[in-house]
Amino acid sequence: MPDDRLSKPSGPGASALAAATARNLQQRVTSGLVMVLVALALVYAGVVPFALLVFAVGLLMSWEWGHLVRGVRFDSAIGVQAAAVAIAIGLACADYPLLALLALVACGIVVASLTLHDRCLLSAAGVFYVGLPAVAMIWLRANEPLGFAAVIFLFLVVWTTDTMAFAAGRAIGGPKLWPAISPNKTWAGFLGGVVSSAALSALFAQVVPGAQSWRLCLIGLVLGVIAQGGDLFESALKRAFGVKDASHLIPGHGGVMDRMDGIVAVAVAAALLALVFDAYAPATFLLIGR
């Protein structure tokens, strides 16, 4: 996040820059609101409508991964990855999450074989980067009666972490978090995002019967750290390939992967936590415990 307090351009160029910045901000806000409203509506509508959203996002992310890693518009590996995501989502909707994971493994092997001479391991990793959070989110959403609340909780944790990390970083500045990977992120932004995630989680417990504020606060704290870890991972991936954004599909935001990096990490982490402690009621465990 650039610290515009250090130096500000002056003259005619400053006016043009200010106008461009305002347009970009307007695009970001408009696109962000549309994405949030669509996501909330489809999560509320039920497992199948939500799965359709996850499928659409997964297709776009599969294309972005192939384009980023192999520099192609489309190839057979992208097709296999998209098919893997579709199959895994279908199995997760049918309440076969284990089969969904096995399908991802099988398709990952196929993708690796198709890209033996073109970053095969990284290409295969894309199947899991897109497929695992897709299965995790549907698995959580399908666990009634708290599936809807669990998915909303994860969304709010990531959105709060991202927003408050940006705000704290801009307002406070200070030492950089990891300049070699993401030169604009600061420790102030990191701490602001994590603390805000924990506070939001404690408040969220007040609307979930049986939830304990201290427990959700702790979970929110950990997930806030993980969300920023997911952001840093994607930043490192993009830096390795010399690009700023995964694509330009979303006006003002870049690519779908750029907006989903925190969700990817948090969804997988939350699902793993539930899998270890209560695989039969993942959403209930996440929000309330045993």
Q: Please report where in the chains the tokens 């925190």 appear, as a residue.
A: 262
Position 8 confidence tier, pLDDT thresholds 50, 70, 90: very low
Measured CA to CA, the distance from residue 116 to residue 25 in angstroms comes to 42
Measured CA to CA, the distance from residue 111 to residue 60 in angstroms comes to 17
The rounded mean pLDDT for the chain is 91
* Cβ-proximal residues to 21 (8 Å cutoff; 6+ apart), any chain: none
Query: Worst-scoring range by mean pLDDT, 15-29, 66-80, 147-161, 245-259?
Result: 15-29
Q: Does a cis peptide bond (omega within 30 degrees of 0) precede residue 49? A: no
Residue 7 has pLDDT above 70, yes or no: no
Residue 38 has pLDDT above 90, yes or no: yes
Q: What is the DSSP letter of 116?
A: T
Residue 16 has pLDDT above 90, yes or no: no
Position 3 confidence tier, pLDDT thresholds 50, 70, 90: very low
Higher local confidence (pLDDT), 184 or 225 = 225
Residue 2 has pLDDT above 80, yes or no: no
Candidates 74, 76, 83; CA nearest to 55 is 83
Which amino acid, one-letter code, is at 236?
A
Is the entire prediction scored with pTM above 0.85? yes
Measured CA to CA, the distance from residue 280 to residue 29 in angstroms comes to 39
> What pLDDT sits at residue 22?
61
The 10s digit of each residue's pLDDT in 239-259 is 999 998 999 888 777 899 999
Higher local confidence (pLDDT), 1 or 194 = 194
At 73, phi and psi to the nearest 5?
-80, -40
Residue 1 has pLDDT above 80, yes or no: no
How would DSSP label each residue in 71-87?
--S--HHHHHHHHHHHH
Opening angle at CA 158, ends 40 and 207, nearest 5: 60
* Cβ-proximal residues to 69 (8 Å cutoff; 6+ apart), any chain: 119, 122, 123, 126, 241
State the average pLDDT over residues 162-168: 93
Which amino acid, one-letter code, is at 118?
D
Which residues make beta-bridge pairs with 186? 176
Residue 176 has pLDDT above 60, yes or no: yes
Query: Worst-scoring range by mean pLDDT, 4-13, 170-179, 234-243?
Result: 4-13
> What pLDDT sits at residue 11?
54
Cα of first residue to Cα of last residue in the chain, in angstroms, is 40
Pairing of strands 176-178, 182-186: antiparallel
State the average pLDDT over residues 217-242: 96
* Cβ-proximal residues to 181 (8 Å cutoff; 6+ apart), any chain: 232, 235, 236, 239
